[in-house]
Amino acid sequence: MMMWLQQIKTALCSQVLFKSTGITIFISLFFIAYFHVLNHPAYPTTIVPLTYLDKLIGFHPLALPIYLSLWLYVAIPPALITKREELFAFTLSIALMSIAGLTIFYFWPTAIPVSEIDWRLYPSIRFLKDVDAAGNACPSMHVATACFSCAWIDYLFRRIKTPIQVRLINYLWCVAIVYSTIATRQHVALDVLGGIVLAGITILFARLMFWQK
């Protein structure tokens, strides 16, 4: 077996209970805070305007599985980590990013414009919108989490000398998730930009504080 594959296998088999429990607790706490802020913002909600990019990217309900794949994607970085101190570093980084996003949502609540699409024709998308309302729009935490995970995955892949083809799959998956946030009409382009900026700042923090040179 190639060395990089062996290292991935070893990482995936290490501390499985600790990782799965930690991921479950973190996601649960995030959503508790997310929906609390969604329902109890400090100020009136601002509607994020549409841009040319929103008109360029059409509505594609088949993008929903890609959108939902974030919850698998975000589990990949901790799954590839073997040392607990590095797991704590990853958790601290994403926690700080989440706190920053939730703070923005609390003091500057935003929502996407009302769509003219009849969601009754798309039951899966309608269910998503019933569960995850159009608030807490900018910055898109979906995009921020995808970009943050992409950077960590690439850092870990580089460290074990994963082939460029595998690293490209990581990039493409991230881009697809980002695209799906607009294609499912869960976010608009300015939300995406905000998510990329938030992720960029957090990635820089992780790079300076935790990543091995």
Question: Quick one: three-class SS letters along the chain?
Answer: CCHHHHHHHHHHCCCHHHHHHHHHHHHHHHHHHHHHHHHCCCCCCEECCCCHHHHHCCCCHHHHHHHHCHHHHCCHHHHHCCCHHHHHHHHHHHHHHHHHHHHHHHHCCEECCCCCCCHHHCHHHHHHHHHCCCECCCCCHHHHHHHHHHHHHHHHHHHCCCCHHHHHHHHHHHHHHHHHHHHCCCCCHHHHHHHHHHHHHHHHHHHHHCCCC
* pLDDT score of 213 more than 80: no
Dump pLDDT digits (tens) for 28-57: 999 999 999 988 999 999 999 999 999 999
Residue 169 pLDDT: 97
pTM of the model: 0.93
Residue 2 pLDDT: 80
Dump pLDDT digits (tens) for 63-93: 999 999 999 999 999 999 998 899 999 999 9
Q: How many domains does the chain have?
A: 1
Domain residues for the domain of 109 are 3-209
Residue 134 pLDDT: 64
Higher pLDDT, 39 or 167: 167
Dump pLDDT digits (tens) for 99-139: 999 999 999 999 999 888 888 888 888 888 777 666 788 99
